[in-house]
Amino acid sequence: MTTSTPDRLLIRDAHVFAADDAGTQWPCADILIEAGRIAAIGPGLAVEGPIGRVIEAKGMLAIPGLINAHFHSPGNLMRGMLDGLPLEIFMLYEVPPLAAGVPVGHLNYVRTLLGAAEMLRLGITSVMDDAFHVPVASAEGIDGIARAYRDIGMRARLAIDQPNVVEYEKYPFLHDLLTPAMRAAMESAPRQTDEELLALYAHLVSTWDGAGDGRIGAALSCSAPQRVTLPYFVGLSELSERHDLPFNCHILESKLQRVLGEEKYGRSLVRYVHDLGHLDARMVVIHAIWIDEDDMALLARSGATVAHNPLCNLRLGSGVMPFRALADAGVPIALGTDEATVDDTVNLWGVIKQAGLVHTLSDDEYERWPAAPEILSCLWRGGARALRWPDIGHLTVGAKADIALLDLDTYAFTPLNDLRRQLVYCESGSSVRMTIAAGRVVFEDGRVTTIDEAALRAEARALMAGYRQSLGPALEEARRLEPAYRAMVARAHARDVGLRRRLTG
Ligand SMILES: [Zn+2]
């Protein structure tokens, strides 16, 4: 009689790309999975004892599940909603400063599932979700997001991205460009105290860090240093240290933020965070486009990881991150989709390809352009580092069993000339046939196995109707505010900050 061992899986005869330090590739090898981890891997494994399921993978490529190092699930309902806009004007509509509250628990659950399902279909098994809440964060809203990742079977770190200063304090020049009535409206908009937000973090860490058999983890987020009070920023950094959790921080995404640093702190925002004593190896510095040489040296010394989101940066015209200079300085780089409002597909494959292409614009020396292995290293090694989960991003004994199986009998891999280049430049995600997260098959035969996808999409469409209506007045307000923001952006863009990150200077 055979004992049932559903958590023991054998993948047989796959072409394996291990993404390990040695660059191991086997044209034909087996992977034994036990209790969510890789128990053995290599050609012709002799496996004893009962197996829950044997997956015949001849003609398939096994790679580590992809790691999306920067993402905001609240954008999931907003794909295609906006044209390309400069960050500061985009955010007026993304997170309207005068928005009223909407019921969040179920909305957040459905909205998060929508992006998670799309990611699992594409072989993305891990995500850092820097989730924002409009206008205020709540335990119910946080729980909705965390439950979604737990239920669908994805690995996720979840942060609370919640600014808590008055809207005009986040920007240079804006205060003086607004009418007194607009300023008053911003001052009376709902805002949470440091204590309220730290209490929500206590809830997030105690309820969700380590939940779902360790698949769900907490992370910290200040959104950006200029968007929160200083005591709250310090409190977040201390929490990050106490629990050894990633600390997400958008820094120098736009030229305007470079100008803000000069105006408000008399220095670059990277240096500002460094001088506070909180630029460290747990920090995930998101975007880092308008950084200078001094910033790069500080980042390198700190051990922080930079999350690079080239598609989002193009969509918002933010500029091109100095990839080669950062990498040469020794700064680890991870890749992210950012959010469905600015990378409208949640498809990390597009980001991988874009990261492999866009940096040719910044360097005349072709030897300095990133090559495919470097981009893949950002994806897996950089991603694992950003999430502070060293057991993901490689197929080695003891690693988490997060695996994507791709069909090699597709146009992307025909003929097979160079696997790594074809992963970066040819694959769109359409070759993914199976996704395994924490040793469980979560996508196969064209279906996410853990939810009813058709019902999910129908519910998302239905919820969106009400959501759109509830956002209506806030978007109307945003349109009234836009001329002031446009004047602010123009004023910042006119300044010479001594850096060029866009072709127009
Ligand atoms: Zn972001």
pLDDT tens string 485-498:
999 999 999 999 99
Task: Supply the pLDDT for residue 471.
Answer: 85
Query: Distance from the CA of 370 to the center of ligand 1, in angstroms?
Result: 23
Query: Distance from the CA of 223 to the center of ligand 1, in angstroms?
Result: 8
CB burial class (10 A; 0-12, 13-18, 19+) of residue 406?
Answer: buried
Task: Supply the pLDDT for residue 102.
Answer: 74
Q: 43 phi and psi, to 5 degrees?
A: -70, 135
Query: Distance from the CA of 34 to the center of ligand 1, in angstroms?
Result: 35
Query: Distance from the CA of 187 to the center of ligand 1, in angstroms?
Result: 24
Query: Distance from the CA of 25 to the center of ligand 1, in angstroms?
Result: 34
* Amino acid letter, residue 5: T
Q: In whole angstroms, give the CA distance from residue 228 to residue 343.
A: 26
Query: Distance from the CA of 129 to the center of ligand 1, in angstroms?
Result: 9
Query: Distance from the CA of 144 to the center of ligand 1, in angstroms?
Result: 20
Query: Distance from the CA of 102 to the center of ligand 1, in angstroms?
Result: 22
Query: Distance from the CA of 225 to the center of ligand 1, in angstroms?
Result: 13
Query: Distance from the CA of 448 to the center of ligand 1, in angstroms?
Result: 26
Is pLDDT of 143 > 80?
yes
Percent of the chain with pLDDT over 70: 99
Query: Distance from the CA of 140 to the center of ligand 1, in angstroms?
Result: 22
Percent of the chain with pLDDT over 90: 90
CB burial class (10 A; 0-12, 13-18, 19+) of residue 458?
Answer: exposed
pLDDT tens string 188-208:
999 999 999 999 999 999 999
Instruction: Read off the pLDDT of each residue in 78-82 and give the average, rounded to a whole number.
Output: 89
Burial 68-97 (b: 16+ CB within 10 A, else e): bbbbbbbbbbbbeebeebbbbbbbbbbbbb
DSSP 367-407: GGSPPHHHHHHIIIIIHHHHHT-TTSSS-STTSB--EEEEE
Query: Distance from the CA of 247 to the center of ligand 1, in angstroms?
Result: 13
Query: Distance from the CA of 367 to the center of ligand 1, in angstroms?
Result: 30
| Strands lying side by side in the sheet with 283-287 | 220-221, 247-251, 283-287, 305-308, 333-335
Task: Supply the pLDDT for residue 1.
Answer: 40
Per the listing, tokens 């958590």 go with 7
Query: Distance from the CA of 271 to the center of ligand 1, in angstroms?
Result: 20
Query: Distance from the CA of 287 to the center of ligand 1, in angstroms?
Result: 8
* Amino acid letter, residue 27: P
Is pLDDT of 245 > 70?
yes
Q: Which of 194, 198, 199, 212 is nearest to 147 (CA)?
A: 212
Query: Distance from the CA of 71 to the center of ligand 1, in angstroms?
Result: 6
C-beta of residue 488 within 8 angstroms of C-beta of residue 171: yes
pLDDT tens string 444-476:
999 999 999 999 999 999 999 888 888 889 899
Task: Supply the pLDDT for residue 147.
Answer: 98
DSSP 407-474: ESSSGGGSS-S-HHHHHHHT--STTEEEEEETTEEEEETTEESSS-HHHHHHHHHHHHHHHHHHHHHH
**Mean pLDDT across the chain, nearest whole number?**
96
DSSP helix/strand/coil, 485: helix
Query: Distance from the CA of 337 to the center of ligand 1, in angstroms?
Result: 9
Between 216 and 6, name the one with better pLDDT: 216
Is pLDDT of 4 > 70?
no
Query: Distance from the CA of 338 to the center of ligand 1, in angstroms?
Result: 5
Query: Distance from the CA of 321 to the center of ligand 1, in angstroms?
Result: 14
Query: Distance from the CA of 405 to the center of ligand 1, in angstroms?
Result: 29
Query: Distance from the CA of 340 to the center of ligand 1, in angstroms?
Result: 11
Instruction: Read off the pLDDT of each residue in 271-280 and give the average, rounded to a whole number.
Output: 98
Query: Distance from the CA of 78 to the center of ligand 1, in angstroms?
Result: 14
Query: Distance from the CA of 70 to the center of ligand 1, in angstroms?
Result: 6
Give the number of other CB atoms < 10 A from CB of residue 293.
11
Query: Distance from the CA of 248 to the center of ligand 1, in angstroms?
Result: 9
pLDDT band of 302, cuts 50, 70, 90: very high
Strands 155-161, 216-218: pairing kind: parallel
Is pLDDT of 505 > 80?
no
DSSP E strand boundaries for 124-282:
124-132, 155-161, 216-218, 220-221, 247-251
Token code pair at residue 117: 């399902």
Is pLDDT of 2 > 60?
no
Lowest mean pLDDT among 44-53, 130-139, 359-368, 463-472: 463-472
Token code pair at residue 35: 């209790």
Query: Distance from the CA of 306 to the center of ligand 1, in angstroms?
Result: 12
Q: In whole angstroms, give the CA distance from residue 82 to residue 94.
A: 9
Query: Distance from the CA of 284 to the center of ligand 1, in angstroms?
Result: 11
pLDDT band of 6, cuts 50, 70, 90: confident
pLDDT tens string 332-379:
999 999 988 777 789 999 999 999 999 999 999 999 999 999 999 999
Query: Distance from the CA of 215 to the center of ligand 1, in angstroms?
Result: 22
pLDDT tens string 427-444:
999 999 999 999 999 999
Q: Which of 121, 66, 24 is nearest to 423 (CA)?
A: 66
Give the contacts of 40 (CB within 8 A, at least 6 positions apart): 30, 31, 32, 47, 397
Task: Supply the pLDDT for residue 218.
Answer: 98
What is the set of domains in the chain, with CATH numbers?
Answer: 8-64+397-448 (2.30.40.10), 66-387 (3.20.20.140)
Instruction: Read off the pLDDT of each residue in 97-116 and give the average, rounded to a whole number.
Output: 90
pLDDT band of 3, cuts 50, 70, 90: very low
Query: Distance from the CA of 141 to the center of ligand 1, in angstroms?
Result: 19
CB burial class (10 A; 0-12, 13-18, 19+) of residue 483?
Answer: exposed
